[in-house]
Structure 1
Amino acid sequence: MSPLSRISTSYAPRFAEFAFEPGFTAAVDQHVAELRDKLAAGGGLLQPQAPDPEILSDYALGFLDALTENGWREPVGHDYAVCRLTAICWLVRRHDLA
């Protein structure tokens, strides 16, 4: 399974939390914007471009590897990693990349 598919499967259920966690929603939105900037997937405000799937996949794999090396475990709440992984998932789902 590709890193994008694995992240999408694992973090899509977090989207349900957007309905009652506005702070989480805002944090994920910020992460999406940062990822678009970082991965050079600009576009306009109304029509943002899809990130290159290969670049996003490489980024996601590196991020997952770093989390594993650091012994990260997914918390109940929303830390930086959960927000970042949910943002990756959002990009994957939004642009049908997996």
Structure 2
Amino acid sequence: MDNSPTGGQVGPPSDCPLVGVVATYLPRLSEFAFEPGLVAEVDQHAAAVRDALLPGPRRSAAGPVRAGAAVSTPVRREDLSDYVLGFTDWLTETGWTEPVGHDFATLRLTAVCWLVREYDLLSP
């Protein structure tokens, strides 16, 4: 019997919504080199997502998120997965389709990828 906190599971489950978001939107992070303003926009979205996920005491202990900066209070995979499920359900309900370029939703999903990478949320 496995009594570990993850129940013996290594890495994210195959149905983890972060896997699909990362597969689709992680390549957008490479656009940072060509669009300096994109870094600031994604950074703002990452901070908004993090603020939505972290309760006040955890958030104040960690301070603000800045691209490339280490943060003491990590975002948890489970919390970000729940956020992504709610966000993508809302996108589906509104009939959103991915545009060419960047809109609120693509920036938010790109920020989710940045958080996944920064906190190494898909590693075992």
Same-fold status (TM-score > 0.5): yes
Q: CA deviation at 1:44?
A: 4.1
Whole-angstrom distance in 2 between the partners of 1:87 and 1:51: 13
Which structure has more relative contact order (CA 8 Å, sep 6+)? It is 1
Whole-angstrom distance in 1 between the partners of 2:80 and 2:27: 20
Question: Deviation digits for residues 59-86 of structure 1, max 9, x if unmatched?
Answer: 1000001101111111111100000000
Gaps spanning 5+ residues in structure 1: where?
Answer: none
Could you list the structure 1 runs, at least 4 aligned residues long, displaced by more than 6 angstroms after superposition: none
Map 1:36-75 → 2, pairs under 5 A? 36-40=50-54, 42=59, 43-44=62-63, 46-48=69-71, 49-75=73-99
Whole-angstrom distance in 2 between the partners of 1:47 and 1:80: 25
Q: CA deviation at 1:47?
A: 3.3
Gaps spanning 5+ residues in structure 2: where?
Answer: 1-14
TM-score (norm 1): 0.91
Do structure 1's residue 24 and structure 2's residue 24 form an aligned pair?
A: no
Q: Would you tell me which structure has more helix in proportion to its own residues?
A: 1
Whole-angstrom distance in 1 between the partners of 2:110 and 2:32: 11
Which of the pair has more CA radius of gyration? 2
